[in-house]
Structure 1
Amino acid sequence: MISKAFYANIEEVALDNDLTREQVFYAFEQGLIAACKKQLGVQTCRVDFREEKNEILIYGQYYVLPEGEISLDLDKKYTFITLADAKEINARAKAGEVLEVKIEPSEFNHNASRDLKNRYNEVLNSIKKETQYQALKKLQNEMVNARVLDVEQDFYRIEIAKDVVVMLPKKETLPQDNFHIGDRVKVLITDVEMKTKGPKIYVSRTNTALVTRLLEDLVPEIKDGTIEVVGIARDAGDRSKVGLRSNNPNVDVIGATVGEGGLRIKEISKFLGGEKIDLFRWSDNEKDLIANSLQPAPVVAVTKINPKEKTALAIVPDAQLSLAIGKLGQNVKLAVQASGWSIDIKSETVAHQEGIIY
């Protein structure tokens, strides 16, 4: 018999550690089994919780050996006992059966009590780590709103959930980021791994998926699937290029995403430290897709399309060549990544000189 306080304490431990009662019971059961093994010197024990009677029944287990020669087929997981010794414990003991010997927790010696505590803490901590890992794993590739706790030379220490503190390396932040303690910052959880000490969470502000998550968060039509992000490319901190497709012909992908007065796209840019967001309409027509992806530069024609190799040539006005290519080739690079097509660009003059017909 134990006090009702024991079962109330189980409830309290579960609540404090965000675990279920069953998980805490399991950890305590493993501790009791470890103590029972130490106390009785047996290999197996059984624990029976009887909450309705405020009882915990603990049994050490022995396998009663048959008379005569010992068979090699005996189950080696048990501690063996002769029939004669078994009958001294229980006169009804029979050969070939498992004899259970009851032991009270109050009978545990120092070493057994130590093993109980150590095993209980070991199993409980393992369950806590696994539970936390499974919860955090569900957040992988998701955006969270974090709070800056500390600023170090190479990283920010941030809290992404209650009592979940991770490191945001400065190499994973944007060039214009300069956070201070207490600042709120949106980050993407890029990976969650289980390590010896518990889950390790990796976060980033440079990952392309962060732009997608921001779009989903701030544009209801994207969140509910009316508008779909089909292609996206990013130079983190400078510019992103996003290809959008509407699954509703009555919804304008660009207008809905930009928002009234540009409110939505400005909000996204704000969260990314002023990063520019170029939007273009996705098309299943290769010519339209390639032309759209090169916006804001106008495209006169798209030719030399090779669907197998996914290569094409875009012809642009002479005066728009630098815009189509972009500074250090950024615009065409992002267009290539977002559209999935390798795009060569020529001005109208060069195209005529080379005899390209379009």
Structure 2
Amino acid sequence: MISKAFFQNIEEVAEDNDLNKEQVFHAFEQGLIAACKKQLGVQTCRVEFKEEKHELLIYGQYYVLPEGELNLELDKKYTFLKLEDAKALKKSAKAGEILEVKIEPSEFSYNASRDLKHRFNEVLNQIKKENIYQGLKDLQYEMVTARVLEEEKDFYRIEINKDVITMLPKKEALPTDKFHVGDRIKVYVTDVEMKTKGPKIYVSRTHVALVTRLLEEYVPEIKDGTIEVLGIARDPGDRSKVGLKSNNENVDVIGATVGEGGVRIKEISKFLSGEKIDLFRWSDNEQELIGNSLQPAPVVAVTRVNPKEKSALAIVPDAQLSLAIGKLGQNVKLAVQASGWSIDIKSETTAAEEGIIY
């Protein structure tokens, strides 16, 4: 079949569905093969597009068997014909060859045309789903901005990209989150899966990596590697603790991250619905690292350092013991998680009573 309109239609379908021509050709090919199989009752067909000539060729395929011979391996793939039947279709047919019989789309029956349309749409929709999936897969482990569309009892319905809608379960939202329809929020993409109905994207606001991504967005020195986040821990909605190291002696990790007048850290906190961010300087010196991680509580000394077990004892002023431990043990818990060290805390008085030398 020669049809310029057919090939123009390919381009229109590609443009309308945000696909490339090769993808649409593939979908049409599968549809034409399905129609050919239905029309001729064969197991295999071949389709050839000659775009430069605006030509479309469709062939049903048969395997020509010699008299009395049955090749079981080929029989599983091809529809076979006896040599005499093959010669009736094509006089030059030979035993052992693949005989191709040309068919025109205009010859398709109603059922064959129906199979063509059904298979074409099926393959086209699958390609579109796969394209969306691949695009969303690039967002996995990244932070994205979403718009709140609706609030339900257990989740928020949010729009991430055009026509990409997912759910933010309230168990993955912060206790301080109070969103309204139209609000723009930051979420972290934890996973992207291909489901039967299409790609499904999972998001969270409680994941610790959301804080890291916010720091990268609002602190250029972190984004470009001048400052590194080497330790981070989080009590979602309440407080995060972040250990930072500068790779440039002229850049102060705390000052750069906080920003002039605290503008950077305030923006980060705002997107976390008021969650507090504690920053501390990372150090290769174990005692200094442990002491810094317990900030804002001052540490008098760090002793009984056991590198093998990564455990240590921090001595703090009596009046600062509660601050070092934190409400419900939050400060020391976050310090342990962020530094990677198991930290015991004692006041100066208790240390003296126990004869601890430091």
Q: TM-score range by the shorter chain?
A: over 0.9
Q: How far apart, in 2, do the equivalents of 1:280 and 1:133 lie?
A: 39
SS at match of 2:302: strand
Residue matched to 2:301: 301
What runs of 5+ residues in structure 2 fail to find an aligned partner?
A: none
- Measure how far apart 1:72 and its partner are: 4.1
The residue that corresponds to 1:58 in the other structure is 58
Determine the structure 1 residue equivalent to 2:324. 324
Larger mean Cα displacement after TM superposition, 6-15 or 241-250: 6-15
- How far residue 273 of structure 1 moved from its aligned partner, in angstroms, is 0.9
Residue 292 of structure 1: how far off its partner (Å): 0.6
- Residue 73 of structure 1 and its aligned partner are, at CA, apart by 5.1
Counterpart of 2:173?
Answer: 173
Q: Distance in 1 between matches of 2:8 and 2:291?
A: 68
What is the alpha-carbon distance in structure 1 between the residues aligned to residue 72 and residue 162 of structure 2?
A: 55
Q: How far apart, CA to CA, are the structure 1 residues paired with 2:148 and 2:172? A: 15
Hey, what's the Cα distance between the residues in 1 that align with 2:11 and 2:219? 42
1:223 maps to a residue whose letter is K
> For 2:141, what is the secondary structure of its paired residue?
coil
Matched residue, 1:110: 110
Cα drift, residue 37 of structure 1: 0.5
**Deviation readout 1:260-290 (Å, 9 max, x if unpaired):** 1111111101111111100011111110110
RMSD across aligned positions (CA): 1.2
1:45 match: 45
Q: Structure 2 vs 1, CA of residues 128 and 61 (structure 1 numbering), >3 Å: closer, same or farther?
A: same
Asked whether 1:70 is paired with 2:42, we answer no
| Distance (Å, rounded) in 1 between the aligned partners of 2:74 and 2:136 | 45
Q: Secondary structure at the match of 2:216?
A: helix
Q: 1:121-270, aligned counterparts within 5 Å?
A: 121-270=121-270
CA-CA distance at 1:351 after TM superposition: 0.3
Letter in 2 for 1:331: N
Whole-angstrom distance in 2 between the partners of 1:73 and 1:159? 52
Q: Deviations over 1:57-105 (max 9, x none)?
A: 1000001112343344545311101111111111111111111000111
Tell me how far apart the structure 2 counterparts of residues 352 and 287 of structure 1 sit (CA, whole Å): 20
Q: After superposition, what is the alpha-carbon deviation per residue over 1:231-251, rounded to whole angstroms, capped at 9, x for unaligned?
A: 100111111000011112221
Distance of 1:230 and 1:297 partners within structure 2: 20
Cα deviations by residue, 1:309-356 (Å, 9 ceiling, x for unpaired): 111100000011011001111100100010111100000000000011
**Inter-partner Cα distance in structure 1 for 2:74 and 2:146:** 58
Paired residue total: 358
- Cα distance between partner residues in 1 of 2:73 and 2:124: 36
Partner of 2:92: 92
CA shift for structure 1 position 2? 4.7
Deviation (angstroms), 1:4: 2.7
Q: Does 1:120 align with 2:120?
A: yes
Aligned-pair CA distance for 1:14: 2.1
Q: What letter corresponds to residue 340 of structure 1 in structure 2?
A: G
The residue number in structure 2 matching 1:5 is 5
Residue deviations 1:211-250, cap 9 Å, x none? 0000000110100111111110011111100001111222
What stretches of structure 1 move > 3 A for 4+ residues in a row? 71-75
Q: For residue 355 of structure 2, what is the aligned residue in structure 1?
A: 355
Does the residue aligned with 1:273 lie in a helix, a strand or coil?
coil
Structure 1, gaps ≥5 residues long: none
